[in-house]
């Protein structure tokens, strides 16, 4: 076989090897995301009403200060692509403190603080990136939301009934403070309030570096 024949054969085997490698990478990534890592947790939603509470009337206004209860969760969701395979990155924490103050039919004040150093996902490498160059939690260990405008409920809520309101507050995240307005669904259950809401976050608005790294590409925004 001549030199050109050997070169052509060598190139053919190189191309075959590259094709096999690409199939292995993409196929392996698909299997990892869909079989090993599994489906991302569903978005956080409003808690179900307590048994027997739905439809009951509130005897008195829920006046007073209501503190964040054990079991509360704050987290993020970001769409990402790994070697062409779509995935949703989810990180969460229950390290939350704060309270809201209710007077009659108005929420007059509220502050929620999250320990960002405790946010974890299902991937340690992602968490290292989150705590390091992305959120820099050693420098900015907490995020805080402070209610800036009173929220009028309109009437004393019935126990177990869900109500949606617009909330405006100042969010301090990654050392940047901005005004945010978002929808919150709440339910008064007599002894507790349960609330759920989400805030869209464009990373550059908060001086947050793009989470993309290595083979992982993310969108330029996420949800808190």
In-domain check, residue 133: yes
CATH of the domain at 132: 2.40.128.110
**Count of domains for the chain:** 1
In-domain check, residue 210: yes
In-domain check, residue 197: yes
In-domain check, residue 217: yes
The pLDDT, as a whole number, for residue 29 is: 32
Where would I find the H helices in 64-195? 124-129
| Residue 81 structural domain | 39-223
- Among 162, 147, 137, smallest CA distance to 106 is for 147
Query: For residue 146, what pLDDT band results from cuts at 50, 70 and 90?
Result: very high
The pLDDT, as a whole number, for residue 49 is: 57
Query: Rg for the chain (alpha carbons), in Å?
Result: 24
The pLDDT, as a whole number, for residue 187 is: 83
In-domain check, residue 33: no
In-domain check, residue 194: yes
**In the chain, count of helices (H) and strands (E)?**
2, 13
Give 116 or 162, the one with higher predicted confidence: 116
pLDDT at position 140 over 70? yes
The pLDDT, as a whole number, for residue 162 is: 83
pTM for this entry? 0.76
Alpha-carbon distances, residue 124 vs 48, 129, 130, 209 (angstroms): 32, 9, 10, 19
The pLDDT, as a whole number, for residue 31 is: 35
CA angle 53, 107, 109 (to 5 degrees): 130
- Write the burial class of residue 47 (CB in 10 Å: 0-12 exposed, 13-18 middle, 19+ buried): middle
């Amino acid at each position: 076989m001549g030199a050109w024949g050997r070169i052509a054969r060598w190139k053919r085997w190189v191309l075959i090897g590259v094709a096999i490698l690409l199939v292995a990478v993409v196929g392996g990534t698909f299997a990892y995301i869909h079989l090993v890592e599994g489906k991302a947790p569903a978005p956080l939603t409003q808690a179900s009403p307590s048994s027997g509470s739905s439809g009951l009337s509130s005897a008195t206004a829920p006046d007073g200060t209501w503190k964040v209860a054990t079991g509360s969760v704050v987290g993020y969701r970001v769409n990402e692509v790994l070697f062409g395979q779509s995935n949703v990155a989810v990180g969460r924490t229950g390290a939350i403190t704060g309270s809201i103050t209710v007077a009659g039919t108005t929420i007059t004040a509220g502050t929620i603080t999250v320990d960002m150093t405790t946010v974890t996902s299902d991937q340690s490498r992602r968490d290292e990136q989150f705590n390091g160059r992305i959120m820099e939690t050693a420098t900015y260990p907490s995020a805080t939301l402070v209610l800036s405008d009173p929220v009028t409920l309109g009437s004393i809520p019935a126990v177990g009934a869900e109500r949606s309101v617009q909330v405006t507050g100042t969010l301090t995240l990654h050392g940047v403070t901005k005004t945010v307005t978002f929808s919150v669904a709440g339910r008064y259950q007599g002894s507790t309030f349960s609330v759920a809401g989400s805030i869209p976050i464009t990373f550059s608005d908060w001086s947050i570096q793009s989470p993309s790294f290595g083979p992982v590409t993310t969108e330029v925004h996420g949800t808190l």
